[in-house]
Amino acid sequence: MISTGTRSKIEAEMERYPQKRGALLPALYLVQAEHGYVSSDTVRELAEIMGLHPVEVMEVVTFYNLFFDRPQPRHHASVCTNLPCSLRGARVLLAQLEEHVGSKVGEPTDDGRLVLGHEECLGACAFAPMMRVDDAYHEDLDLEHAKSILDALE
């Protein structure tokens, strides 16, 4: 169930667009912030609120990397592996982090704490290598620094 608070935030977002459907991305961020992911039930509920067909919401959820259609580990840590980062060792770093946390890219750790990923360009080439942990950028990384960031996650 989408909470009343989130629902009213979604409705406020809808006011800001000439067409209600324009608010779909902000609305999805809101419901994901509340639930951690966007379930089928949430898709149906959101479609109802926004006057869309459920299939239209599903299309957007499955298109974007930052929307999840199933329960997620508590944290997402994604290393940028685009060309400048790779030249500065991002791929090696990612492999070492896999070893450190004991799980491959895309496979959540057993304790459900974390999943590693890789991203295409995050626009921080000048600070390569870098990774995004949840909503924060961590730049000019070396292995020890990266490990300590991951180790600090609850």
Partner 1 sequence: MRITIDGREIEAREGATIFDAAGAAGIDIPVLCHDPRLDPVGVCRLCVVDVGERVLAAACVRRCEPGMEVRTNTSDIEADRAVLTELLMSEQPADHEADRRERAFGDNALLACARRYDAWGDSLPRGGGRADDTSSSVIHVDHQACILCDRCIRACDELQNNEVIGRTGKGHDSRIAFDLDVPMGQSTCVSCGECAAVCPTGALVDVAIGPELRPRDELEAVDSVCPYCGVGCALTYHVDRERNAIVFAEGRESPGNRQRLCVKGRYGWDYAAHPQRLRVPLIRRDDAYPKGALSKDVRGEHDGRRKPGGIVDYDEVLPAFREATWDEALDLVAERLSTIRDRDGPDALAGFGSAKCSNEEAYLFQKLVRACFGTNNVDHCTRLCHASSVAALLEGIGSGAVTTTYGDIANAGAALLAGTNTTANHPVAATFFKEARKRGTKLIVVDPRREAIAEHADHYCRIKPGTDVAFYNAMMQVIIEEELGDRAFIEERTENYDALATLVADYPPERAGAICGVEPDDIRAVARAFGSADSAIVFWGMGISQHVYGTNNARCLIALALLTGNIGKAGAGLHPLRGQNNVQGASDAGLIPMVYPDYQSVEDPAIREKFESAWGRELSPQRGLTVVEIAHAALEGSVKGMYIMGENPFLSDPNVNKVRKALSNLDFLVVQDIFLTETAEFADVILPASSYMEKLGTYTNTDRRVQIGRPVLEMPGEARLDWEVVCDVSTRMGFPMDYASPSEIFDEFAGLTNAYATLSHDNLGAVGKLWPNPDPERDDGPVVLFDDAFPTENGRAKFVPAEWTAARELPDDDYPFVLNTGRLLEHWHTGVMTRRTRVLDAIAPEAFVAMHPDDGSANGLSDGDNVTVESRRGSVTLRLRLTTRECRGAVFMPIHFREAAANLLTLDELDPDGKIPEFKFCAVRVSAAG
Residue nearer to partner 1 on the CB measure, 56 or 99: 56
Biggest CA-to-CA distance, the chain: 49
Q: How far is the CB of 144 from partner 1 (least distance, A)?
A: 35
Q: Pick out residues in 38-77 that bind partner 1 (CB under 8 A).
A: 40, 43-44, 53-56, 58-59, 62-63
Of residues 77-136, those binding partner 1 (CB under 8 A): none
Instruction: Give the burial class of 98: count Cβ atoms within 10 A of its Cβ; 0-12 exposed, 13-18 middle, 19 or more buried.
Output: middle
Between residues 47 and 153, which has the closer beta carbon with respect to partner 1? Answer: 47
Q: What are phi and psi of 116, to 5 degrees?
A: -90, 150
Q: Which stretch binds partner 1 (CB under 8 A): 24-32, 37-45, 88-96, 97-105?
A: 37-45
Q: Cite the DSSP H helix spans in the chain.
A: 4-15, 24-35, 40-50, 54-63, 83-87, 90-101, 143-151
Nearer to partner 1, 53 or 145 (CB): 53
**Cβ neighbours of 56 (radius 10 Å):** 13
Name the residues that contact partner 1, by CB under 8 A. Answer: 40, 43-44, 53-56, 58-59, 62-63
